[in-house]
Amino acid sequence: MTLETLWALVLVWLVAGYLVLDGYDYGIGMLLPALGRDDRRRRLMLNATGPFLLGNEVWLVAVAGVMIAAFPGLEGALFTAYYPLIAALLAGLMLRGTGIQLRRFGRGPGWRTAMDAATVTGSLVPAAALGMLVGGMLRGAPQGLSAGAAAADLLHPFTLLCGLAGVLLFSLHGAVYLALRLGGPAGDQARAAVGRLAPAALAVVVAAAAAGALSGDVRAVLTAPVSAAVGAAIAVGACAAAWALARSGAAAAAFACTSVAVLAPFAAVLAGARPHVFTGRAGEGALTLSDVLADEATLALLAWFIVPLAVVGLAAQAWNWWSFRERLDERSPLYF
């Protein structure tokens, strides 16, 4: 195994962990208005992620840290090209963190309403931004445009459609998570939401895939369009499977499926544009991993630290999940 492959795997691992774990947090936040009919119910939903919220979010920080150390060129290219999306993602995270953590320390319902608005916004925006990032990467990054024009370019219908797909996929993932974690009527309501979200997500992914197939920009970026199509198909299949499994009460299996569903679009981009990890509009300015890789000597040294730490980190998080595996219900003690 080369250093390049090893570090690629580390980055993929961290990105996957981030999408699967913080992904359901975005889902929960977006579902607050629909599933959180009263204060107690909303608190249950937020406490369902409770002990895991901070730990889930930190995977994104790990992604940024590893990118700057191992793939500094990639971070530079991606963040410059999709600047507004990254900025929106960060702003959303700020709002969400505040909304959830400060929610119960108000003096009246007005405070809670404001905090919940922050949480919902702060969950919706990252979910949409991540979807739009997939769309933007599929279309290729516009070159040589002013800041305003580049931002406007991101509002292309295809990119927006991908954003919608992101919103629905993460909402579905969140709903399945809630069905898994919440007992009683709250869990039932979550399961019902899965029944409505799964077909919607499925449909939008199909539409996005079709639009991508018809888009000249996307075709110029994809070196292996079949792989991308397979990725889209996996997302669709995973949504369908999650739907069926949730209906029959197999929430854990459904969660595995929605995890695959949120990962699949990113895998589709990676596999479909390989070996490029970044592509400009019409296929220009494409970068491969070796183009953006940091110095070998540094990476060899760093690997001795980061790989064991990744294992330790996973073990710590698994301990967290195991310690709080008990389902929540109407009688559970709450922090948020």
Partner 1 sequence: MPLVDKLELARLQFGATLTIHFLFVALTLGLVLVVAVAQTRWYRTGDPHQERMVRFWGLIYTVNYALGVVTGIINEFQMGLNWGGLAKFTGNVFGTALALETMMAFFLEATFLGMWIFGWGRLPRRIHLALIWAVAATAYISAFWIIMANGFLQRPGGFEVRGDQAYLTDFSALVTNINPWNALTHVTSAALTLAGFAMAAIGAYHLLKGGRHTEFFRRSVRTGLGLGGAGAILLLITGSLQFNDVIDAQPVKRAVLIGDTERLAEYEAEMAGRFGEGSYAPDSLLPLKLLSDTMLYIGVVLVVLAVIGFVLLRRNAFVRRRWFLRVLLVSPLLPVVAMASGWLFREIGRQPWAVYEVLPTADAVSPGATAGGLLATLVLFGVLYIVLAAADYLVIARIARRGPDLDGWAFIQGDVHGEADGGGRSAPAAEGRRP
| Stretch 46-65 residues interacting with partner 1 (CB under 8 A) | 50-55, 57-62, 64-65
Give the nearer residue to partner 1 in terms of CB position, either 129 or 198: 129
CA distance 179 to 247: 10
Is 123 within 8 Å of 96 (Cβ atoms)? yes
Q: Which residues within the stretch 208-237 sit at the binding site for partner 1 (CB under 8 A)?
A: none
Question: Which residue matches tokens 């916004």?
Answer: 121
Please compute, for residue 69, the number of CA atoms within 13 A of its CA located in the half-sphere on the CB side: 19
* 285 scored as a contact of partner 1 (CB under 8 A): no
* 3 scored as a contact of partner 1 (CB under 8 A): no
CA distance 243 to 283: 37
Give the nearer residue to partner 1 in terms of CB position, either 220 or 310: 310
Nearest distance, CB of residue 323 and partner 1, angstroms = 6
* 104 scored as a contact of partner 1 (CB under 8 A): yes
Bridge partners (DSSP) of residue 278 are 287
**Which tokens belong to 235?**
């997302």
Nearest distance, CB of residue 145 and partner 1, angstroms = 9
Number of residues lying near partner 1 (CB under 8 A): 72
Q: Which residues within the stretch 232-261 sit at the binding site for partner 1 (CB under 8 A)?
A: none
From candidates 28, 45, 78, 205, binder to partner 1 by CB under 8 A: 78
**Which tokens belong to 152?**
């406007």
* 160 scored as a contact of partner 1 (CB under 8 A): no
From candidates 3, 8, 86, 213, binder to partner 1 by CB under 8 A: 86
Residue 234: how many other CB atoms lie within 10 Å: 18
Is 178 within 8 Å of 187 (Cβ atoms)? yes
